[in-house]
C-alpha cells in the first residue's frame, strides 16, 4: 500500500519538484506559486448522494472508484477531496479515506494528523479567542462581553464542551458564557477552503465578526491586530495536500468543513490544483445533495466561478431500504418492497440536482448483501427518468469496478452545459434565500423563523449583510429539519431558530431544527476499536 513516490504523482499533475514540499515519500504540499500560475484544463465532476444512513454510504469510496475507473479507461484523472475530521473518525463513522480497493493512501496518516492542517486551523481559531479574552481582561476592546460571538474549537466530538463558563470566578477577571464548536465548523476552516491565496486569506480573516459593542456596533478580527500571526499559523495549511489512491490516481485532499453545519466542500485551491493537472477531476460535497450539493453550487461555485460538467448521485440499497421503513440494524436483509418505497428519496435528490441544469448519473454503491432483484428495481426507476444508473464495485474491484460508471460519466460530461444557474439572486433578502432552498431543494411548504431569528434577520438587513449566500445548518438524516422524517417527507415546514454571521467566509449560517455545531459521541464510539500493535501498525481505524 506504499504507492508511487509522491514526486512522481506530482509530476503527473504537472507540478515540478521545486514546487512540492514533501512529508516523507507518500505525502506533500503544493506551493501556491504553482497553483496561481497554472491554467485550468479539466472538467469537474461533482459527487453527491441521497440521504444516507447514520453509518454513511460510501460517497468517498465511490468518488475514488470513479477516478480510478477513469484512469482504467486511459483518461487523465485526479481527485479533489476533503480531509477527514478526527471527530467522526473516533466517533460513529470511523475513517474517511474510502474503502477496500477504492481508498486514498496513506490511510492512517490522512485520517489522523495528516499534514497538520486541522491543528493549524484549530490553533488560529483559538488564538483569536485567546487574544479576544485577553483584551476583555485588560479592557482594551469595545467588545461587550455579553455580545461576544466567537467560540473556541476542537477537532473532537465532545458534548460536554457545547456550553462552558469562561474566566476567573474570584472576581478578578471577566466571566462569560461561551462554548466549543468542532473544528470542521470553524469559520477559519471555511475561510481557508474559500480563499484564493494569501491576500484573500488576509482580507477574509480581517473581516471575521467577533461580536458587538454595548452600542451595537460590530467588532472585527482586524481590530485584534493579530492577522499577521494568524497568517503565520495558516501559511502552510493554505497549501493543498497531495496524496494518491491505491491505484496511483493523484488526490488533492484539503480542507474539511462538514456539510450539515458548514458548506461541506474541499478547498477552492485544491480543486484548481487538480483541474490544472488532469482532464477529469472528481470532487465531492458532504452528505446528501440537499446539503453539500446545494452549498457546492450556491457558495463554492458562486464564490470561485467553478462549475461542474456532470453530477453523480450516490445511492445504496441499504439507504433506500431505510427510507422505505427498514430499521438500521436490518438494512442488510433483502427487502425489494422497501427499496421500491425508498425511491422517493432518490427522486427528491434527482429533482434538486436537475435545478442546476447539469447531466446526472446515479451510482449504486455495491454491498455484498445487495441482490439482483433489488438492483433491478433501482435501474428500472432511473431508466423511467432517463437517468443512467450504474453499479459501482470499486470497493471490491478498484478501477475495473468503477469503469462502467466512468463510461457513463464521460458521456454525460461531454454534453455542453449552460451557464450555471443559481436558485436565488444574491440581492434577494435572507428570508427569500432561505425559503427558496427550503421549498425547492428540501420540498418544504415554507419556513418559520423564531423571534430570535427574526431579530437577527433585521440586524443583518440593517448592517448590509443580506447580500450574502446562505449556508443552511440542518440534519443530514432527513430532507426536513426533523431527523426522524425519512423518505421524501411532505407537509412540513423548516424552523430557523438562529443565524450566525460568517462575514469572513462570505455567508450567513441559518441554524434549523436542533442541529448542533459540536457533535457528540455515540454510546460505543469507533475509538474503542482502534489498537496499535507492538510494531506500530494501527488496526481498526476504518471500523464503522
Q: Which residue has the cell 497549501?
A: 239
Residues 300, 268 contacting (CB under 8 angstroms):
yes
Return the closest-CA partner of residue 530 out of 140, 211, 189, 91.
Answer: 91
Residues 218, 229 contacting (CB under 8 angstroms):
no
Angstrom distances, CA of residue 81 to CA of 256, 257, 517: 9, 11, 22
Give the C-alpha separation, 473 to 499, whole Å: 10
Per domain, the residue ranges of the chain are 43-73+98-214+223-230+283-298+307-415, 430-512
CA 243 and chain centroid, separation: 19
248: burial class by Cβ within 10 Å (0-12, 13-18, 19+)?
middle
- 43-73+98-214+223-230+283-298+307-415: what fold? Rossmann fold (3.40.50)
Residues of the chain below pLDDT 70: 1, 55, 169-171, 543-544
Class of domain 430-512: alpha beta
43-73+98-214+223-230+283-298+307-415 and 430-512 in the same fold? no
Local structure of 376: helix, strand or coil: helix
533: burial class by Cβ within 10 Å (0-12, 13-18, 19+)?
exposed
Residues 48, 63 contacting (CB under 8 angstroms):
no
DSSP type of residue 518: S
Q: Which residue has the cell 465532476?
A: 45
Question: CA 289, 295, 296 angle in degrees (round to 5)?
Answer: 85
Give bridge partners of residue 311 from the DSSP assignment: 46, 360
Helix 117-138, helix 227-234: angle, nearest 10:
160
> In this structure, what C-alpha cell is assigned to residue 496?
430557523
Give the C-alpha separation, 513 to 515, whole Å: 6
**pLDDT score recorded for residue 365:** 97
Q: Which residues of 304-339 are buried (b: 16+ CB within 10 A; e: fewer)?
A: bebbbbbbbbbbbbbbbbbbbebeeeebeeebeebb
Residue 130: its H or E element: helix 117-138
Q: What's the count of helices (H) and strands (E) in the chain, helices before strands?
A: 19, 25
Give the C-alpha separation, 66 to 105, whole Å: 16
**Beta carbons within 8 Å of 267's beta carbon, 6+ residues apart:** 192, 193, 194, 195, 240, 254, 255
Give the C-alpha separation, 74 to 76, whole Å: 7
Q: Which residue has the cell 468517498?
A: 60
Give bridge partners of residue 99 from the DSSP assignment: 102
DSSP type of residue 305: -
Return the closest-CA partner of residue 289 out of 84, 69, 437.
Answer: 437
Report yes or no on whether pTM surpasses 0.85. yes
Q: Phi/psi class of residue 473: alpha, beta or left (left: φ > 0; alpha: ψ in -120 to 50)?
A: beta
Question: In 310-428, at which residue ranges do the beta strands (DSSP E only) sit?
Answer: 310-315, 360-365, 389-392
Question: In 361-513, which ranges are continuous DSSP H helix?
Answer: 372-384, 394-397, 399-413, 430-437, 451-463
Which is it for strands 28-30 and 250-253: parallel, antiparallel or unpaired?
Answer: unpaired
Question: In 59-101, at which residue ranges do the beta strands (DSSP E only) sit?
Answer: 77-81, 98-99
Residues 367, 328 contacting (CB under 8 angstroms):
no
Amino acid at each position: 500500500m506504499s504507492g508511487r513516490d509522491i514526486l512522481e504523482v506530482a509530476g503527473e499533475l504537472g507540478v515540478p519538484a521545486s514546487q512540492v514540499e514533501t512529508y516523507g515519500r507518500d505525502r506533500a504540499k503544493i506551493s501556491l506559486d504553482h497553483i496561481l500560475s497554472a491554467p485550468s484544463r479539466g472538467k469537474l465532476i461533482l459527487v453527491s448522494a441521497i440521504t444516507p444512513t447514520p453509518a454513511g454510504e460510501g460517497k468517498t469510496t465511490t468518488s475514488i472508484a470513479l477516478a480510478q475507473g477513469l484512469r482504467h479507461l486511459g483518461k487523465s484523472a485526479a481527485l479533489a477531496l476533503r480531509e477527514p475530521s478526527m471527530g467522526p473518525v473516533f466517533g460513529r463513522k470511523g475513517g474517511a479515506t474510502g474503502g477496500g480497493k477504492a481508498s486514498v493512501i496513506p490511510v492512517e496518516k490522512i485520517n489522523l494528523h495528516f499534514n497538520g492542517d486541522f491543528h493549524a486551523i484549530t490553533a488560529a481559531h483559538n488564538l483569536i479567542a485567546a487574544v479576544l479574552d485577553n483584551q476583555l481582561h485588560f479592557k482594551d476592546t469595545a467588545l461587550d462581553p455579553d455580545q461576544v460571538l466567537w467560540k473556541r474549537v476542537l477537532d473532537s466530538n465532545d458534548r460536554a464542551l457545547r456550553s462552558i463558563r469562561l474566566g476567573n470566578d474570584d472576581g478578578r477577571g471577566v466571566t462569560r458564557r461561551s462554548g466549543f464548536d468542532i473544528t470542521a465548523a470553524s469559520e477559519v476552516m471555511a475561510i481557508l477552503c474559500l480563499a484564493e491565496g494569501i491576500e484573500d486569506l488576509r482580507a477574509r480573516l480581517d473581516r471575521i465578526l467577533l461580536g458587538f459593542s454595548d452600542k451595537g456596533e460590530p467588532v472585527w478580527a482586524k481590530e485584534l491586530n493579530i492577522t499577521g500571526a494568524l497568517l503565520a499559523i495558516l501559511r502552510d495549511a493554505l497549501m493543498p495536500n497531495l496524496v494518491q489512491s491505491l491505484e496511483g490516481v493523484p488526490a488533492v485532499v484539503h480542507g474539511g468543513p462538514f456539510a450539515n453545519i458548514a458548506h461541506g466542500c474541499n478547498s477552492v485551491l485544491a480543486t484548481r490544483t487538480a483541474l490544472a493537472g488532469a482532464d477529469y477531476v472528481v470532487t465531492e460535497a458532504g452528505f446528501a445533495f440537499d446539503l453539500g450539493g446545494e452549498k457546492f453550487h450556491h457558495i463554492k461555485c458562486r464564490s470561485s466561478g467553478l462549475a461542474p460538467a456532470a453530477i453523480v448521485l450516490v445511492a445504496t440499497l441499504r439507504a433506500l431500504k431505510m427510507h422505505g421503513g427498514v430499521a438500521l440494524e436490518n438494512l442488510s436483509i433483502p427487502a425489494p418492497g422497501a427499496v421500491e418505497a425508498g425511491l422517493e428519496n432518490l427522486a427528491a435528490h434527482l429533482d434538486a440536482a436537475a435545478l442546476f441544469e447539469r447531466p446526472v448519473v446515479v451510482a449504486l454503491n455495491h454491498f455484498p448483501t445487495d441482490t439482483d432483484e433489488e438492483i433491478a428495481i433501482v435501474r428500472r426507476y432511473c431508466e423511467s427518468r432517463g437517468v443512467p444508473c450504474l453499479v459501482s464495485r470499486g470497493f471490491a474491484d478498484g478501477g475495473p469496478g468503477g469503469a462502467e460508471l466512468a463510461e457513463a460519466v464521460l458521456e454525460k460530461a461531454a454534453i455542453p452545459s449552460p451557464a450555471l444557474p443559481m436558485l436565488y439572486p444574491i440581492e434577494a433578502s435572507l428570508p427569500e434565500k432561505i425559503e427558496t432552498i427550503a421549498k425547492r431543494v428540501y420540498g418544504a411548504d415554507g419556513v418559520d423563523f423564531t423571534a430570535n431569528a427574526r431579530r437577527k434577520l433585521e440586524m443583518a438587513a440593517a448592517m448590509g449583510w443580506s447580500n450574502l449566500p446562505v449556508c443552511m445548518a440542518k440534519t443530514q438524516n432527513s430532507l426536513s429539519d426533523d431527523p426522524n422524517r425519512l423518505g421524501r417527507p411532505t407537509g412540513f415546514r423548516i424552523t430557523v431558530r438562529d443565524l450566525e454571521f460568517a462575514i469572513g467566509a462570505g455567508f450567513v449560517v441559518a441554524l434549523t431544527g436542533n442541529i448542533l455545531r459540536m457533535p457528540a459521541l455515540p454510546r460505543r464510539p469507533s475509538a474503542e476499536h482502534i489498537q496499535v500493535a507492538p510494531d506500530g501498525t494501527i488496526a481498526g481505524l476504518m471500523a464503522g
